[in-house]
Amino acid sequence: MLNIPGNGKIIFDSSALEGAETIFITGDLIPRERSEERLCAGNIKDVFGNVLEHIQSCDAGITNLECAVTDGGEAIFKCGPNLKTRPETLPALVEAGFDVFALANNHSRDWGDDAFLETMQYITEAGGKYVGGGKELSEASSTLYFDVKGMRIAILNATMKQPCDCTRNTPGANPLNPPAIAGAAAKAKEKSDFVLVIIHDGKEYCPFPSPRVRENYRAFIDAGADAVIAHHPHVAQGIEKYNGGFIAYSLGNFHFYPRKANPPPYWRKSFSLKLFINKHKVAAIEVVPHKINDDFCLEVLEGEEREKFLERINRLNAILDDDALCDRYFSAVAMNFNNYMMFISRAVKLLEAGDYQDSDFKQNMFYFNHYLETMEHYDVLFAQTAVNMKGRILEPPADLDYFMTEEK
């Protein structure tokens, strides 16, 4: 297992550090409210705080832009909120050090097709690049190649299936197709010096990756990816070395200020990564733990707060070391999501009644379909079914509450 020391840095190959380039990569970013106002005014320091020096010390920066960039648009029908930010935030984000914006997520097309096209346009006009989105599937699924001080980096980006996806002829995010990602990673390895796969997937608020997620990410490494970095759960998950590659299962939130007064545990605290990369190799990493303070500004964790956070990640790393144990933790968390069966039961009753004009019918059918075809929800339903069909109650791990609550 990987053990992150107090300084956050793990060296995998000291000989490969010479001549290595550095990439700063984050989880979910959505500039809203005070942060949006500050970025529009060009005030990046009061948004990124002392994390800014970490971003700007690297040769390139990559973030997951978890919203549409538009002044208009029409909100699409979906689960969860419809998120957007003003176009004026983009130049400030590029100035902060972000070169590449990942668009394969479940919010990038929240305000419709035209707003998604605007998002790509505003990124380009600000001097940035995007990946994982396009005018249609062939563009959205294409590999982004860009040079970092003479090193050619290939980036692939995809998201679990959801309403922001593109189709063969409409704009949106690149839907996750594991065989296609594996094939693209193999091809990219022949054309680049480093292959990075960025995935938006995993169960929200769950600190443990599902069996499907672990299988996919490891398969991408086997196919040719040098690193797989993921997000979406809104909480941090563990990291591992696998078959010569590096996997971070969830970076959690980067700058995603909570909409609720009492957000889920560890919504505000997470980490970003510095990757020290050389020819098809992660030579070292540096974990940069941070939090979003009450003033909408990022802060690097220090002192006891830092120690406790890194201890948590190291305990998650230890669980990743044992697939059967990780499955048990995931299943234990899955059993607590009771809303799935509630919506499915209501949908079945409405179908049996045949009252298709009922005011709740459309919404219940939408959730029914969403739970069955969206991979993070499928994972929960699969785990619940696997436990229930055995006819016994799953005994949760003794320390499960440690991971599902947050010390204040």
- Which CATH number do you get for residue 55? 3.60.21.10
Residue 195 lies in a domain: yes
Q: Is 39 left (phi over 0), alpha (psi -120 to 50) or beta?
A: alpha
Which residue bears the tokens 């600000």? 126
- 304 and 340, same structural domain? no
What CA–CA distance (Å, rounded) separates 228 from 241? Answer: 10
What CA–CA distance (Å, rounded) separates 146 from 101? Answer: 13
> How many structural domains are present in the chain?
2
- 317 and 356, same structural domain? no
- 183 and 310, same structural domain? yes
- 255 and 108, same structural domain? yes
Which residue bears the tokens 């990757």? 275
Residue 3 lies in a domain: no
Query: Among candidates 382, 28, 404, 82, which has minimal Cα distance to 201?
Result: 28
- 296 and 199, same structural domain? yes
Residue 1 lies in a domain: no
Residue 281 lies in a domain: yes
Of 321, 356, 381, the residue that ends a domain is: 321
- One-letter identity of residue 284: A
- 272 and 196, same structural domain? yes
Reading the chain (408 residues) residue by residue, the pLDDT tens digits are: 999 999 999 999 999 999 999 999 999 999 999 999 999 999 999 999 999 999 999 999 999 999 999 999 999 999 889 999 999 999 999 999 999 999 999 999 999 999 999 999 999 999 999 999 999 999 999 999 999 999 999 999 999 999 999 999 999 999 999 999 999 999 999 999 999 999 999 999 999 999 999 999 999 999 999 999 999 999 999 999 999 999 999 999 999 988 888 899 999 999 999 999 999 999 999 999 999 999 999 999 999 999 999 999 999 999 999 999 999 999 999 999 988 877 777 777 878 887 777 777 777 788 878 888 899 999 999 999 998 887 777 899 999 999 999 986
- 111 and 14, same structural domain? yes
What is the SS3 assignment for 148?
Answer: strand
- 395 and 260, same structural domain? no
Residue 4 lies in a domain: no
- 203 and 117, same structural domain? yes
Residue ranges making up the domain that contains 169: 9-321
- 382 and 315, same structural domain? no
- 348 and 283, same structural domain? no
Size of the chain, expressed as the number of residues it contains: 408
The DSSP H or E segment spanning 182 is helix 178-191
- How many of the other CB atoms lie within 10 Å of CB of 304? 9
- 256 and 353, same structural domain? no
Rg of the chain (C-alpha set)? 21
